[in-house]
Amino acid sequence: MSVDLSQFIPSFLEESFEGLEIMESGLLNLKPGDNEVIHSIFRAAHSIKGGAGTFGFENVTDFTHLVETLLDEMRDGRREITKEDTEILLESVDCMRLLIEAARDGEDYDSEKIESTSKRLTITLGEGCARDESSEPEQAQQASHNAQYHINFVPEHCLAKTGNDPLFLFNALTELGNLSLAANTSELPALTDIDPQELYLSWQLTLATDASEDDIKEIFEWVEDECLLEITQQAAPNTNTPAEANRTDDLPVETTTQPEQQAAVDKDDASTNVAEKDKGKAKSKAKSDVGSIRVGVDKVDSLINLVGELVITQSMLSELGSDFHMSKIEKLTSGLEQLLQNTKELQESVMRIRMLPISFAFNRFPRLVHDLSIKTGKEVELVIKGEQTELDKTVMEQIGDPLVHLVRNAVDHGIEPAEVRIAAGKKQQGTISLDAYHQGGNIVIEISDDGGGIDRNAVFNKAFEKGLIESNASLSDSQVYDLLFEPGFSTASEVTDISGRGVGMDVVKRNIQALGGRIQVESTKGQGSTFKVNLPLTLAILDGQLVKVGSETYIIPLISIVESLQIDKELLNRVSGDMVLYRLRDDNVPILPIYQLFNLEADFTELDNALLVVVEADGQKVGLMVDDLLAQQQVVIKSLKDNYQQVAGVSGATILGDGSVAMILDIPGMIQMALNNAQHAQTLQTKASYGELMS
């Protein structure tokens, strides 16, 4: 009888990734004479090699064999543990991860990187002609200089809606070298069919640069899931034959010299691209479908016990219902209360299954900080706290990239060079702290550094130069730091390959907001900065405040609410554009009547003594005028986009206990709607005034 080994491959892959984490963590902390650590690293590599051989992943086996041999020499004492060897092993872990991911996804991998690292391992082991082969990587590196890349960039139509602007990407590419581009307009619809929020163009770009392919990919890292990106290295411009040079020069012109042929080519390319995109989506979907989660046996046992309790309660209620009379009303009430309790405990138990320690997201940062320290020449210590704080798996997967960006910025811009720190009386080694903890039903992640802090005046002046604020604007520190999240905003005097182009912080904020969270910045010049990310524990359930407007019930996320109050007319102040401000201590809070935004008939339209729910988003407070405050409760979020369509000012819907549907308000979206309305009213008022003057 034959056994289908393929059924065990997912377990092998999962254990291999855990083994890689053990190897990486061990290598980052490896010191000479630390035999226990080197043994654990060797065992992890040996297990991966053995499993890969069993399932026929020969490339993983061959590569890991070299790694295992080097580790074997270290654990036997035949080789000293050196920093150079540790770096090669860390690079080898990256290669093993590439190979295993390729085996999991059925995709190609970077064979050049694997081959280059294999040669370095072989040279280190002394199994080849070290001198001759060691020169090859240098020659390869030199050959990559003055390279020319052809980039096929086909964004999805929804790219612009996610806050990404191709112009920023192209500007960043021009900083790497000479860029020429040709736009493909074949998917551009008729003028009457154009949705101004959609992106219909794709581009063929040619970049002559000294930068590496990784540098180019880094520019596209925020949009890589929302586009088809193909980067092909071509011959260096200065080594092209005349014919090749002419062909290269013709690239942008091809779209205009032979429009009919090019249109046909574009159409074919577009079809191919769509097919490839669909294939990519299918792969991504397949990848997400096979995602798994490890759950502790105690959690599963708890779930089974609760299901047993639920079955008992259901049996009791069924028996009661088959022979019910009013004398059993007390028993029925008791049974329903028991059912309510069982349901609540079952819900909490199921939600706990999706909760994972945030260490799954934090584990990548020791390696990241290690690599950035080498790259920037700065000494940086990473301190991690609260790694056992639990967070929903979906939130965990989506918060990883924004945290990476914040940590990269902290190393590159936050921590000062050693000589500056010493001159300022600080330790030569800088410190970056990652801390996670629960607060008020949410999770807070803090990324702190003890660097030079944010220069408030530099941010203010840069914002004024870019026309974001007036020179006499009176802004709090929080409002000034919030300008850092404006698209393309950067105060960095020098653009590095790590950060400084200002193409990331706006996306960080948008991604956090998309998770229903918010980000705040605190900084003290000379002492450091703290970025505080506040996230909901889960995306499936929301703590909300139910409010009544006319005959409708809406839900305001509790995380957005600052306070609720009754309006005192003495504190009202009308300004231009029919905007009404409410004096709330040191703030002037604009009032947004919900009935006006959604064209409803409200019970109360007068401001005097009306109820106001003050909410905050994007560092801006507004007061939502409602008819009545109802209960606070947890609600299950249903996507409007999946079930109906996206509605401005509404982030989702839920079904209440009485079976009615209630909309969940999108606070940032509502603030934007109100600002747009105010701007429109101001424009109309200006036109009317101008008309009166002219008449």
| Known catalytic residue at 68 | yes
**CATH no. for 5-125:** 1.20.120.160
Stronger pLDDT, 492 or 169, i.e. the higher one? 169
CA angle 14, 17, 21 (to 5 degrees): 140
Q: Report residue 678: phi and psi, to 5°.
A: -65, -40
CATH of 541-684, one of 3.10.200.10, 2.40.50.180, 2.10.10.90, 3.30.479.10: 2.40.50.180
Q: Which letter does DSSP use for residue 114 in this model?
A: H
By three-state DSSP, how is residue 533 classified?
A: strand
Structure tokens at 600: 């409803």
List, for residues 550-567, the tens digit of each pLDDT value. 999 999 988 888 899 999
Q: Work out the average pLDDT over 252-275.
A: 40
Q: Which of 15, 18, 39, 46 is catalytic?
A: 46
Nearest partner of 667 among 599, 620, 601, judged by Cα: 620
For every residue of 648-694, DSSP letters joined together read TTEEEEEE-TTS-EEEEE-HHHHHHHHHHHHHHHHHHHHHHHHHHHH
Q: Are 685 and 576 in contact (CB under 8 A)?
A: yes
- Percent of the chain whose pLDDT exceeds 90: 13
By DSSP bridging, strand 561-566 and strand 587-593 are unpaired
| Predicted model pTM | 0.57
Residue corresponding to tokens 């040191």: 586
* pLDDT for the residue numbered 360: 85
| Known catalytic residue at 230 | no
By DSSP bridging, strand 650-655 and strand 661-665 are antiparallel
Structure tokens at 519: 């980000």
Q: Work out the average pLDDT over 223-236.
A: 78
Based on the number of CB atoms within 10 Å of its own CB, is 401 exposed (0-12), middle (13-18) or buried (19 or more)?
A: middle
* pLDDT for the residue numbered 132: 42
Give the separation between CA 63 and CA 59, rounded to whole angstroms: 6
Identify the helix (H) or strand (E) that includes residue 547: strand 541-549
Q: Which letter does DSSP use for residue 604 in this model?
A: -
Give the separation between CA 583 and CA 565, rounded to whole angstroms: 12
Given a cut of 60, whether residue 117 has pLDDT beyond it is: yes
**Amino acid identity, residue 375?**
K
Q: Are 539 and 637 in contact (CB under 8 A)?
A: yes
Is the four-CA dihedral 561, 566, 568, 569 of positive or negative sign? positive
* pLDDT for the residue numbered 381: 93
Give the separation between CA 120 and CA 214, rounded to whole angstroms: 20
List, for residues 521-540, the tens digit of each pLDDT value. 999 988 999 999 988 777 77
Q: Work out the average pLDDT over 215-229.
A: 80
List, for residues 17-38, the tens digit of each pLDDT value. 888 988 988 888 888 878 888 8
List, for residues 640-683, the tens digit of each pLDDT value. 766 777 788 888 888 887 888 899 998 878 887 777 766 666 66
Beta strands in 550-603 (DSSP E): 552-557, 561-566, 572-574, 580-584, 587-593
- Percent of the chain whose pLDDT exceeds 70: 82
Confidence of residue 282 (pLDDT cuts 50, 70, 90): very low
Given a cut of 60, whether residue 244 has pLDDT beyond it is: no
N-term to C-term CA, the chain: 97
Q: Work out the average pLDDT over 171-195.
A: 80
Q: Which of 152, 164, 409, 534 is catalytic?
A: 409
CATH of 147-234, one of 3.30.70.60, 3.40.50.300, 3.20.20.80, 2.60.40.1080: 3.30.70.60
* pLDDT for the residue numbered 274: 39
CA diameter of the chain: 100
Give the separation between CA 549 and CA 553, rounded to whole angstroms: 6
Q: Are 121 and 64 in contact (CB under 8 A)?
A: no
Give the separation between CA 236 and CA 93, rounded to whole angstroms: 32
Give the separation between CA 454 and CA 575, rounded to whole angstroms: 34
Confidence of residue 480 (pLDDT cuts 50, 70, 90): confident
Given a cut of 50, whether residue 452 has pLDDT beyond it is: yes
Mean pLDDT of the chain: 79
CATH 3.30.565.10 correct for 356-491+502-536 = yes
| Known catalytic residue at 46 | yes
* pLDDT for the residue numbered 554: 94
Residue corresponding to tokens 């003594």: 609
For every residue of 49-96, DSSP letters joined together read HHHHHHTT-HHHHHHHHHHHHHHHHHHTTSS---HHHHHHHHHHHHHH
* pLDDT for the residue numbered 142: 42
List, for residues 609-628, the tens digit of each pLDDT value. 889 999 987 667 889 999 99
* pLDDT for the residue numbered 560: 84
Q: Which of 21, 24, 68, 416 is catalytic?
A: 68
Give the separation between CA 238 and CA 245, rounded to whole angstroms: 9
